[in-house]
Amino acid sequence: MIRLVSDDMRPPSPARRHLLAMADVTRDDLERILGTARTFATSLEREVKKLPTLKGRLIVNLFYESSTRTSSSFELAAKRLSADTLTLKSAGSSVDKGESLKDTALTLGAYDPDVIVIRHPQVGAAHFVARVADAHVVNAGDGKHQHPTQALLDLYTIHQELGRLDGLHVAIVGDVVHSRVARSLVQAFALMDMRCTLIGPPALLPQGLAESTTDIGAIRHADVVYVLRMQHERMQAGANYVPSLREYTARWGITPERLRPGQKVMHPGPMNRGVEIDPRVADCSDALVETQVRSGLVVRMAVLYDLLVGGPVSVRALAAAEVA
C-alpha cells in the first residue's frame, strides 16, 4: 500500500500513500485492510450505519469509464464514513470538451481533496494523477492494467466464505488478456500464498503472468472458479481472439455440469448470462456475486480509512470517534 511515488522529473511533493497497483501492497497491508473491513462490516449491522470517521474529508470520484458497482460503492463507502464526495463522470464534464487529464486533476486538486479515486481507460492514468495531484490516489481501474480494490474485495469475499486464504486454489476463466481484474488478482493471490490457474482460449491468455491452460477441465481442481466477463466489443468478427461467442460458450462457458458440488463461483460483474456463465450457475447458492458487491462497500471503506487515518481499527476506536 505504501508507494512513495518517486519521480525524478518533478519536485517531490510530500510523500503520499496511494493504492495504485496490487504489486505495491504488502501482506501486512492486506491483512490490516481486510481486518478493518471486517470491523466496518460489524458496524454496518447497526441501525445507524454512518460513522463520523472521515467527517470533513473530501473524496473525489473521477470516472472516465462507465461503472455501476465501483463508482457507487466508492461513493457509498465515503458517505458511510461521513466524508464529502464529489463524483465526476467524463460525460457532461470538461473532459467532453477535450480537457487533458492533467488539467482535470489540477482543477479538482484546487478543491484540496483528500483522496482522488480514478477510473480511466488508459494504463498509467492513476500513476499519472498521483504524480500531478496533491492527494491520495486510489486506482479504480486503469485500462487493462490494475483494479486493486476489486482484488481486495475478492480476497475478503473468499476469506468470508472459506475461512482462510493460504493454500486455496482459484481458477480464473475467460478473457484474461483484457482483464485488469485478473492482473490484480494474480498478484493478490501470490501475496497470500494461494494457487492460481488461468484458463481460456490461447489468444486470451497472456504469456508469463501465471500458470495457465486452455483446458476447461482444469477448473475441477480449484476451490473457487473466478469467471471473467467476455467483452463483446473485443469479440467482434475479424478480431479472431475466438472464432465466435457461440464457440467460446461451448468450450469455456461455466455450466453446472462443469462444476464440482460445493465449488464457489465468482464474477466481477457485469455478467453476460448465457455467454461466460450459465444462468443456472449465476443463480445458484455457490455463486458469490452479490456477496462480492457487499464486500466491495466495506473493503472500500477500509481502503479510504487506511489511506487517511492508517493503522488497524478497532470497534472501540470507532466508538471513541463517534463520541468525539
Partner 1 sequence: MLWMKDAPGANVVVRGARVVDPVEGIDAALDVRIDDGAIAAVAERVDANGHRVVDGTGLVLAPAFVDPHVHLRTPGREDEETIATGTAAAAAGGYCAILAMPNTDPVVDSAAALQSLVEGARRDALVPTGFMAAITRGQAGEELTEMGELADAGAAAFSDDGVPVRAAGLLQRALQYSSITGRLLALHEEEPTLTKGAHMHMGRVSAELGLAGYPSVGESVMVERDLSLAAAEGQPLHLMHLSAAESVAALRRARHAGVRASGEVTPHHLVLTDDAVRSLDPNVKMNPPLREEDDRIALLDALRDGTIECVATDHAPHARHEKDVPFEAAPNGVTGLETAFAALYTYLVKPGALPLATLLERMSAGPARVFGFERPRVAAGARANVVLLDLERDWQVADFRSKSRNSWLLGHTLTGAVVMTIANGAVVHE
Task: Map grid coordinates 455501476 to a residue.
Answer: 68
Q: Identify the burial level of 308 via C-beta atoms within 10 angstroms of its C-beta, where 0-12 means exposed, 13-18 middle and 19 or more buried.
A: middle
Q: How far apart are CA 218 and CA 7, in angstroms?
A: 43
> For residues 165 and 176, which CB has a smaller minimum distance to partner 1 in the complex?
176
Q: How many CA atoms lie within 13 A of 246 on its CB side?
A: 1
- Minimum distance from CB of 308 to partner 1 (Å)? 25
Distance CA 195, CA 226 (A): 13
Q: Among residues 113 and 141, whose Cβ is nearest to partner 1? A: 141
Residue with Cβ nearer partner 1 (103 or 322): 103
CB of 254 to partner 1, least distance (A): 23
What residues form DSSP beta bridges with 142? 120, 146
Three-class DSSP category at 270: coil
Buried b (16+ CB within 10 A) or exposed e, 87-112: ebbbeeeebeeeeebeebbeebbeee
Task: State the nearest-atom distance from the C-beta of 132 to partner 1, in Å.
Answer: 8
Residues that bind partner 1 (CB under 8 A): 7-9, 23, 100-102, 120, 122-125, 127-128, 142-146, 178-180, 183, 206-209
Cβ closest to partner 1, residue 1 vs residue 313: 1
Of 64 and 305, CB closest to partner 1 = 64
Rounded least distance, CB 194 to partner 1, Å? 18
Shortest distance, position 129 Cβ to partner 1, whole Å: 8
Strand locations in 244-302 (E): 264-266
Say if residues 74 and 19 touch (Cβ distance below 8 Å).
no
Distance between CA 217 and CA 257 in Å, rounded? 11
Which one-letter DSSP state was computed for residue 229?
P
Pick the closer one to partner 1 by CB: 123 or 317: 123
Residue 81 CB, shortest distance to partner 1, in Å, is: 29
